[in-house]
C-alpha cells in the first residue's frame, strides 16, 4: 500500500514533464516552420534578382538576411536536438528506475505468495484467530488478515502499472531516437544549404568590389535623397514651432484684450521660454500624452508592412568587400511592390512630400515623428488624423528596378528645436 501512492505520484510527475517538454518541442517546431517560410520568401526574391542580372547592395543585404535566418533555423534545430537528448536521458533513467522497482515488487510479491502457501489451510487461519487472548485481539487479527489480502491485491496492481509505465517509457524512448535521427538529418541538410549560401554571398561581394566606383555613385545619390528627407523633417519641425508661436501670441492678445490691457513685446529671454512652452511637438499636455503612449510601445510597434526584411540597417556601417560606408537615417525594408504601408501608431499627418514619381509621408506622434518614403498611391493628406494600422500608401519598386519593393522607415524625436534620428529597430516588434 505504501508503494502504491509514490508510484502514482511519480507517474503523474512523469506525465507532466513529458507534457511540458512536448509543448516546448511544439513551440520550437512552429518557430522552425516560420523561419523556413521566411527563407523561402527570401529565396524567391533572390531568384528575381538573379533573373534581372543585377548585383547590388540590396542583393548583398538579402543574402546576408538569408544566412542569418539559416543560422537561426540551425540553432532552432540544435535546441530541438538538445531537448530530444534530455528526453532520452530522462527516459533511460526512468526505465532503469522502473526496472529496479519492478524487480523489488516481484520479490515482495513472491514472499507473500510463499507465506500464503505455507498458511494456505483454513485451519491455520482459524487457529491464528482463535489463539487470540481476547475478543478485541481476535477482531484485530481478522482485520489484519483482510488487510493482508488487500495488500496482495495492491501488489498485483502495482506490478501491472509498473509494467505498463515501463512499456510506455520504452515506446517513448524508441520514438525519441527515431526523431533524433530525423532531426539530425534535417540539420545536415540545413548546414549544406548554409555553405552554398555563404558561397553565393562571397560571389556577390566579389562582384561589388569590382563595381566599387559605381556603388560610390549610388551611395552619393542615396545620401542626397536622405538629405532631402532630413531637410523636409527639419522644415516640418520649424513650421510646427512657428504655428505654436502664433497660437501662443494670439492667446496672449486675446487674454490682454479681455482684460482691457495691451500686449507687451516679449523680451528675447521671455520669447525663448514662450517658444519652448508653446512648442506643441514637446510640451503641451495633449502632446505629452501621445508621446508617452508612443514611448510605452517601444519594441511593440507593428512593422509598417506586413511582410518585409531589413536590407539597409540604421546608422553607419561598412560595406563588406569595399572601402565604402553606408550611413542610413532609418531602415530600408524590402517588401513586395504594391504592399500596403501602414501607420505604426496613431497621430497627425504633418507632411506629404513628393520626390518625383514617389512620395514620403511624415506622421507626428506627440514629440515623435515617423516618416515613410518610397510610396505610391498616397491616401492621406496633411493635418489628417490617422489611426494605428491605417494604410497611408503602397510600397513602390526600389531604385534598382529589380522587381522588389522597398520602403525607407524613419523615426525621429524632437530635442529642443531639432530632430534626433533614432534606430527604428529599437521601436518595432522583433521578428
Q: What is the bridge-based pairing of β-strands 405-415 and 331-335?
A: antiparallel
Q: Lowest mean pLDDT of 16-20, 256-260, 365-369, name the range.
A: 16-20
Q: With a cut of 80, say whether residue 305 has pLDDT above it.
A: yes
Q: With a cut of 80, say whether residue 181 has pLDDT above it.
A: yes
pLDDT, tens digit (0-9, with 9 covering 90-100), for 209-234: 888 888 888 888 889 999 999 999 99
pLDDT, tens digit (0-9, with 9 covering 90-100), for 2-11: 444 444 444 4
Would you say residue 431 lies in a domain?
no
pLDDT band at 407 (very low <50, low <70, confident <90, very high): very high
Cα–Cα distances (Å) from 165 to 15, 17, 402, in that order, read: 10, 14, 61
Question: How does DSSP assign 23-86, residue by residue?
Answer: HHHHHHHHHHHHHHHHHHHHHHHHHHHHHHT---HHHHHHHHHHHHHHHHHHHHHHHHHHHHHH
Choice between 192 and 159, residue whose per-residue pLDDT is larger: 192
Both 153 and 267 in one domain: the answer is no
pLDDT at position 418 is: 86
Q: Do the beta carbons of residue 26 and residue 60 sit within 8 Å?
A: no
Rounded distance between C-alpha atoms, residue 279 and residue 285, angstroms: 11
Would you say residue 251 lies in a domain?
yes
* Phi, psi of 260, rounded to the nearest 5 degrees: 80, 15
Express as a percent the part of the chain with pLDDT over 90. Answer: 33
Q: With a cut of 60, say whether residue 89 has pLDDT above it.
A: yes
pLDDT band at 148 (very low <50, low <70, confident <90, very high): low
Rounded distance between C-alpha atoms, residue 222 and residue 65, angstroms: 21
Both 158 and 218 in one domain: the answer is no
Both 249 and 363 in one domain: the answer is yes
Question: The CATH number of the domain where 265 resides is what?
Answer: 2.70.70.10
Q: Lowest mean pLDDT of 162-176, 247-261, 264-278, 326-340, name the range.
A: 264-278
Mean pLDDT, range 407-418, rounded to an integer? 92
Q: With a cut of 70, say whether residue 309 has pLDDT above it.
A: yes
pLDDT at position 356 is: 85
Q: With a cut of 50, say whether residue 16 has pLDDT above it.
A: no
Q: Do the beta carbons of residue 249 and residue 353 sit within 8 Å?
A: no
Q: With a cut of 70, say whether residue 152 has pLDDT above it.
A: no
Give the closest residue to 44 by CA, choosing from 283, 416, 309, 321.
Answer: 309
pLDDT at position 46 is: 63
Choice between 353 and 135, residue whose per-residue pLDDT is larger: 353
Q: Do the beta carbons of residue 232 and residue 351 sit within 8 Å?
A: yes
Both 319 and 358 in one domain: the answer is yes
Q: In this structure, how many other beta carbons lie within 10 angstroms of the beta carbon of residue 128?
A: 15
Dmax over Cα atoms in the chain, in whole Å? 125
Q: Lowest mean pLDDT of 118-132, 139-153, 344-358, 400-414, name the range.
A: 118-132
Mean pLDDT, range 237-249, rounded to an integer? 81
Please say which residue of 184, 210, 236 terminates a domain. 210
Label residue 161 exposed, middle or buried (CB < 10 Å: 0-12, 13-18, 19+).
Answer: middle
Both 251 and 360 in one domain: the answer is yes
Both 219 and 194 in one domain: the answer is no
pLDDT at position 61 is: 85
pLDDT band at 302 (very low <50, low <70, confident <90, very high): very high
Q: Do the beta carbons of residue 263 and residue 256 sit within 8 Å?
A: yes
pLDDT, tens digit (0-9, with 9 covering 90-100), for 90-105: 888 888 888 887 888 7
Question: How does DSSP assign 112-169, residue by residue?
Answer: HHHHHHHT-SHHHHHHHHHT-SSHHHHHHHHHHHHHHHHHHHHHHHHHHHHHHHHHHH
pLDDT at position 411 is: 97
Both 222 and 205 in one domain: the answer is no
Structural domain containing residue 250:
214-426
Rounded distance between C-alpha atoms, residue 70 and residue 333, angstroms: 19
Q: With a cut of 50, say whether residue 273 has pLDDT above it.
A: no
pLDDT at position 262 is: 54
Would you say residue 406 lies in a domain?
yes
Would you say residue 332 lies in a domain?
yes
Rounded distance between C-alpha atoms, residue 248 and residue 94, angstroms: 77
pTM (predicted TM-score): 0.69
Both 196 and 222 in one domain: the answer is no
Mean pLDDT, range 317-336, rounded to an integer? 91
pLDDT, tens digit (0-9, with 9 covering 90-100), for 21-61: 555 778 888 888 888 887 787 777 666 654 554 557 777 88
Rounded distance between C-alpha atoms, residue 143 and residue 134, angstroms: 14
Rounded distance between C-alpha atoms, residue 270 and residue 249, angstroms: 12
Label residue 400 exposed, middle or buried (CB < 10 Å: 0-12, 13-18, 19+).
Answer: middle
Would you say residue 392 lies in a domain?
yes
Rounded distance between C-alpha atoms, residue 57 and residue 37, angstroms: 23
Would you say residue 300 lies in a domain?
yes
Both 65 and 181 in one domain: the answer is yes
pLDDT at position 11 is: 45
> 414 forms bridges with which residues in the sheet?
419
**Domain count along the chain:** 2
Both 347 and 393 in one domain: the answer is yes
Q: In this structure, how many other beta carbons lie within 10 angstroms of the beta carbon of residue 142?
A: 14
Both 275 and 412 in one domain: the answer is yes
pLDDT at position 136 is: 77
Chain mean pLDDT for the chain: 81
Both 360 and 412 in one domain: the answer is yes
Amino acid at each position: 500500500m505504501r508503494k502504491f501512492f509514490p508510484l502514482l505520484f511519480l507517474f503523474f510527475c512523469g506525465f507532466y514533464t513529458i507534457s511540458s517538454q512536448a509543448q516546448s518541442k511544439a513551440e520550437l517546431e512552429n518557430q522552425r516552420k516560420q523561419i523556413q517560410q521566411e527563407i523561402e520568401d527570401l529565396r524567391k526574391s533572390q531568384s528575381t534578382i538573379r533573373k534581372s542580372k543585377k548585383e547590388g547592395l540590396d542583393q548583398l543585404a538579402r543574402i546576408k538576411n538569408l544566412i542569418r535566418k539559416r543560422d537561426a533555423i540551425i540553432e532552432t534545430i540544435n535546441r530541438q536536438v538538445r531537448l530530444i537528448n534530455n528526453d532520452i536521458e530522462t527516459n533511460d533513467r526512468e526505465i532503469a528506475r522502473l526496472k529496479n522497482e519492478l524487480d523489488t515488487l516481484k520479490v515482495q510479491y513472491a514472499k507473500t505468495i510463499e507465506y500464503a502457501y505455507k498458511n494456505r489451510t483454513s485451519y491455520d487461519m482459524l487457529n491464528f484467530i482463535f489463539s487470540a487472548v481476547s475478543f478485541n485481539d481476535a477482531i484485530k487479527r481478522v482485520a489484519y488478515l483482510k488487510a493482508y489480502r488487500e495488500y496482495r491485491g495492491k501488489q498485483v496492481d502495482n506490478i501491472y502499472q509498473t509494467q505498463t509505465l515501463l512499456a510506455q517509457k520504452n515506446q517513448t524512448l524508441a520514438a525519441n531516437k527515431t526523431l533524433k535521427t530525423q532531426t539530425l538529418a534535417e540539420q545536415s541538410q540545413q548546414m549544406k544549404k548554409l555553405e552554398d549560401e555563404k558561397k553565393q554571398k562571397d560571389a556577390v561581394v566579389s562582384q561589388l568590389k569590382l563595381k566599387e566606383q559605381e556603388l560610390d555613385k549610388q551611395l552619393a545619390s542615396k545620401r542626397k535623397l536622405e538629405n532631402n528627407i532630413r531637410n523636409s523633417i527639419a522644415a516640418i519641425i520649424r513650421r510646427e514651432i512657428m504655428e505654436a508661436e502664433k497660437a501662443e501670441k494670439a492667446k496672449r492678445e486675446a487674454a490682454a484684450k479681455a482684460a482691457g490691457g495691451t500686449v507687451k513685446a516679449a523680451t528675447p529671454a521671455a520669447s525663448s521660454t514662450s517658444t519652448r512652452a508653446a512648442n506643441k511637438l514637446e510640451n503641451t499636455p495633449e502632446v505629452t500624452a501621445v508621446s508617452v503612449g508612443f514611448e510605452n510601445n517601444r519594441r511593440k510597434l507593428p512593422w509598417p508592412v506586413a511582410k518585409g526584411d531589413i536590407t539597409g540597417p540604421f546608422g553607419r556601417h561598412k560595406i563588406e568587400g569595399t572601402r565604402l560606408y553606408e550611413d542610413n537615417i532609418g531602415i530600408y525594408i524590402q517588401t513586395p511592390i504594391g504592399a500596403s504601408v501602414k501607420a505604426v501608431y496613431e497621430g497627425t499627418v504633418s507632411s506629404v512630400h513628393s520626390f518625383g514619381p514617389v512620395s514620403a509621408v511624415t506622421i507626428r506622434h506627440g514629440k515623435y515623428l515617423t516618416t515613410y518614403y518610397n510610396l505610391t498611391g498616397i491616401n492621406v493628406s496633411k493635418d489628417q488624423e490617422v489611426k494605428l494600422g491605417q494604410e497611408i500608401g503602397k510600397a513602390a519598386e526600389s531604385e534598382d528596378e529589380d522587381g522588389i519593393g522597398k520602403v525607407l522607415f524613419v523615426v525621429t524625436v524632437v530635442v529642443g528645436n531639432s530632430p534626433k534620428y533614432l534606430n527604428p529597430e529599437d521601436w518595432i516588434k522583433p521578428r
